[in-house]
């Protein structure tokens, strides 16, 4: 099996750096743009994320998840951090004020979820619930924006998404019994 | 409120936390219940949200601008280890003329008698590369196989060659003839694969050396990214170890895919 990109990045192999940018740049950019409206700010943030990635690539453990999941999670967390610092996104503030109680940035289940598998489970959800997830994660709409677009009351949007998330966790655990939460420090 | 209903309520709020939609009032409630139940945020929920975000982003990935790619590559230089940068991959496999091939076969045969295992393996590799290329060329009529010829640029007019690539196998070979031998300590050849569907910049197809301009050389392609629809193959001459992004100061040859 061909060696992944991140182990080679951690060794400082020059072509691995460019390979990493070419392979995961679009992923990082797409996630970042969901949180950061200003293109110039988003570009600065993408640079920060990759600089961090160059530094911590040696922490990646392929036994515990895919490279895309590792990098996608990093991009999400750094984007949320950016929002907190920029204080431009009041809705995110409640989440971020909880940071001292949130899982560590590198925390994750002992064996990472296969993101494709989570996606497949979601595809089996009722269409109305699935559509809400798609509008939130694919179109990047906030909950009020989803409510406005679909005509579904805001409270119902929240309820269906939260219930859907808990249901997803149950279904994934059912498919992968024996999973235990842990830390990845 | 019973302990069970507290737990249910905390789970409900924690799902909102993971989704990032807690109101200030809910956030206060989350904190109170967290203290009361001695419960913390569930990383499983965070990882499912992260998995969804990653998966949706992968399915709708937008490309980086070339300017941002340049900035990222500049940043990456600080983390490149020079000793790695100057390590030549050395993956070229020369294919010899018929006469030389006969010599090679004889040499391989002789090797069996003198039990020189190292040389024997090299012979096997060379013959295997030739056979693998031939097998791929025979599939050139398949839609997923690209076969095209190189045109040397003005300074390399005597050069000729071809390239065969399989999208499904993610492998391919160049057959090169008349390309000047290089001193790997001073310069090396590098292949680039143009695939706009895959990357904005040409994809690194591997660094290689040419030991002799006599006869054909078979060079396996070592694509660093998955290639989906190659539009062109370009050979450049670069510094030892190759480069991340070519300035195309010395373009040796170009092969356009039809």
- Candidates B43, B64, B201; nearest CB to A103: B43
Under an 8 A CB cutoff, do B61 and A27 touch? yes
- Higher-confidence position of A171 and B128: A171
Q: Tell me, what DSSP letter sits at residue A138?
A: I
Under an 8 A CB cutoff, do A21 and B64 touch? yes
Place of tokens 């743009």: A33
The whole-angstrom distance between B114's CA and the closest CA on chain A is 34
The model's confidence at residue A110, banded by pLDDT at 50, 70 and 90, is: very low
Q: Which residues of B touch A68 (CB under 8 A)?
A: 54, 58
- Mean pLDDT to the nearest integer, B61-81: 87
The whole-angstrom distance between B110's CA and the closest CA on chain A is 34
Q: Are the CB atoms for A109 and B47 separated by under 8 Å?
A: yes
- Mean pLDDT to the nearest integer, B53-58: 87
B188 pairs with which residues across the strands? Answer: B238
ipTM over cut 0.85: no
For residue B224, report the phi and psi dihedrals to the nearest 5 degrees: -85, -10
Residue A141, pLDDT > 60, answer yes
Under an 8 A CB cutoff, do B45 and A15 touch? no
**Each residue of B205-253: pLDDT tens digit?**
888 888 887 788 889 898 877 788 899 999 999 987 777 778 888 999 9
Chain B residue at shortest CA distance from A13: B84
Residue A42: Cβ-neighbour burial (10 angstroms; 0-12, 13-18, 19+): buried
Chain A residue at shortest CA distance from B45: A169
**Each residue of B90-146: pLDDT tens digit?**
333 333 333 333 333 433 333 333 334 443 444 455 557 778 888 888 887 778 889
**Each residue of B4-45: pLDDT tens digit?**
789 999 999 999 999 888 888 998 999 999 999 988 888 889
Q: Is this prediction's pTM over 0.80? A: no
Which tokens in the block code for residue A112? 């990472």
**Each residue of A49-88: pLDDT tens digit?**
999 999 999 988 877 778 888 899 899 888 888 887 775 4
- Cα(A148)–Cα(B45) distance, rounded to whole angstroms? 26
């Amino acid at each position: 099996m061909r060696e992944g990109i991140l182990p080679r990045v951690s060794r400082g192999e020059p072509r691995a750096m460019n390979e990493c940018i070419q392979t995961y740049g679009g992923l990082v950019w797409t996630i970042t743009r969901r949180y950061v409206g200003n293109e110039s700010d988003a570009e600065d943030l993408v640079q920060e994320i990759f600089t961090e990635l160059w530094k911590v690539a040696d922490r990646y453990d392929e036994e515990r998840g895919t490279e895309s999941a590792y990098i996608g999670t990093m991009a999400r967390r750094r984007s949320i951090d950016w929002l907190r610092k920029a204080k431009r996104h009041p809705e995110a503030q409640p989440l971020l004020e909880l940071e001292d109680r949130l899982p560590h940035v590198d925390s994750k289940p002992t064996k990472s979820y296969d993101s494709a598998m989570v996606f497949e489970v979601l595809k089996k959800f009722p269409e109305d619930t699935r559509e809400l997830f798609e509008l939130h994660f694919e179109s990047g709409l906030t909950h009020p924006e989803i409510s406005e677009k679909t005509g579904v009351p805001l409270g119902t949007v929240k309820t269906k998404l939260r219930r859907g998330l808990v249901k997803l966790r149950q279904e994934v655990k059912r498919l992968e019994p024996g999973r235990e939460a842990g830390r990845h420090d | 409120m019973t302990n069970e209903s507290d737990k249910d309520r905390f789970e409900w709020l924690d799902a909102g936390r993971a989704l990032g939609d807690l109101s200030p009032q809910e956030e206060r409630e989350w904190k109170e219940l967290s203290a009361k139940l001695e419960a913390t945020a569930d990383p499983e929920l965070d990882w499912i949200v992260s998995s969804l975000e990653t998966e949706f982003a992968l399915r709708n990935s937008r490309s980086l601008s070339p300017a941002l790619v340049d900035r990222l590559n500049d940043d990456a230089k600080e983390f490149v280890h020079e000793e790695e940068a100057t390590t030549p991959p050395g993956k070229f496999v020369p294919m010899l003329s018929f006469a030389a091939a006969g010599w090679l076969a004889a040499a391989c045969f002789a090797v069996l008698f003198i039990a020189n295992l190292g040389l024997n393996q090299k012979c096997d590799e060379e013959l295997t590369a030739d056979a693998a290329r031939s097998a791929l060329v025979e599939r050139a009529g398949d839609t997923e196989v690209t076969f095209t010829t190189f045109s040397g640029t003005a300074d390399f007019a005597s050069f000729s060659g071809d390239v065969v690539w399989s999208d499904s196998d993610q492998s391919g070979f160049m057959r090169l003839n008349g390309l000047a031998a290089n001193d790997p300590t001073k310069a090396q050849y590098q292949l680039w694969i143009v695939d706009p569907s895959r990357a904005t910049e040409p994809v690194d197809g591997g660094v290689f050396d040419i030991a002799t301009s006599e006869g054909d050389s078979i060079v396996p392609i070592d694509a660093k990214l998955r290639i989906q629809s190659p539009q062109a193959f370009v050979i450049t001459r670069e510094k030892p170890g190759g480069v991340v992004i070519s300035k195309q100061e010395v373009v040796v040859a170009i092969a356009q895919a039809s």
